[in-house]
Chain A
């Protein structure tokens, strides 16, 4: 009479489990169990001088992608191209010509944080990221 509690193929099961655990925790091993330091973003002189962005700093930090999504929907599909913020200040809703006009340092501003968060937005496949430089 075989023992009911016996585990069949014990060796294989345990080996499989070990491999599974190692694989699933791979990202932690890969980063040597250390969290990467949060990036320091640099503001251009123009951005510093402006003091305020389109919306508050906290809002922009957390929600700039939603804001841009609303902008693109509004500009492309509804032909409404002007954004009026809470203070009544008007902005041309343009990633290239408004956002990047101040934040002209894409590498130190956009990319740093995007790389840290490991997100890869492809806005710049189409929207020109260096409006002031020729080509």
Chain B
């Protein structure tokens, strides 16, 4: 009697476990199974791939800050980045400055390269701001800091954010030595002019930054900033000697931001 009851409970327990796990199993099973009738996931046919994506910005091809604006706008439009500094917005307040979000923005030489401090750079560099963004470091400090793996490094070198998982602790913002990360201090939607349905907006309380246009690479497109740069920005695989970035790098002297920290930025500047 005692024994059979125990056995019944055991069987019931295992059954309950099995029933509970089945839906998950059904979906996951699609991954490992070779059975053609099982659903599966894959990369798109046109998806671009690389061992290490990298970007080279030829700053010689820009003549003034005006040249940078279409690039910034292309990025921010593509990714639904809100403009809290829009003074024409009905709710605009000067305090909005604190909530600013930017993925790519202009920065003077002394701010972009504070560790390569030089009071006597030539007039062109003094007058010309540099485009800065996430460096997609080889050894990213933000990835180490994140307590939930909401920010992580892909095999192709892109440092990505999983907005679903981010708890908004902002440890990554403290860790990033380039100030590349922004936090959604409030709902960004009222400050997004034209929403791009191809990309989600964000919600309050999560961190965001440049994603090297992972969503565009997946469908065979180059990053939005590269496309809008009129050939001033090269993008490609650092480990492919035939790629445009490799060629630019072998032909020109380039610098990176704060190289002494050992983060290994994947963003190079021809000055």
Contacts and interface: CB of A to CB of B under 8 A. Distances in A.
A16 interface: no
B231 interface: no
A105 interface: no
Interface in B36-61: 36-44, 47
B4 to A, nearest CB: 34
A31 to B, nearest CB: 29
Given A66-B23, A93-B41, A125-B203, A88 B36 contact: yes
Contacts of A88: 36
Interface stretch (A36-44, A71-79, A106-114): A71-79
A84 B201 contact: no
A128 B195 contact: yes
B201 A67 contact: no
B200 A96 contact: yes
A67 B27 contact: yes
B218 A128 contact: no
Contacts of A85: 39
Contacts of B195: 128, 134-135
Interface string B135-165: 0000000000000000010101000101110
Interface string B194-235: 110110111100000000001000110000000000000000
B162 A63 contact: no
A74 B41 contact: yes
Contacts of A74: 41
A84 B40 contact: yes
A56 to B, nearest CB: 11
A113 B40 CA distance: 28
Contacts of A128: 195, 197, 200-201
Interface in B4-46: 23-24, 26-28, 36-44
B24 A66 contact: yes
A80 B41 contact: yes
A70 B27 contact: yes
Contact of B26 (A63, A93, A122, A125): A63
A79 B43 contact: yes
Contact of A127 (B23, B41, B47, B200): B200
A23 interface: no
A74 B40 CA distance: 10
Nearest to B38: A86
B218 A97 contact: no
B200 A86 contact: no
13 contacts: A76-B163, A78-B41, A79-B156, A80-B41, A82-B42, A83-B39, A84-B42, A93-B41, A96-B198, A96-B200, A97-B197, A97-B198, A134-B194
Interface of B: 23-24, 26-28, 36-44, 47, 152, 154, 156, 160, 162-164, 187, 194-195, 197-198, 200-203, 214, 218-219
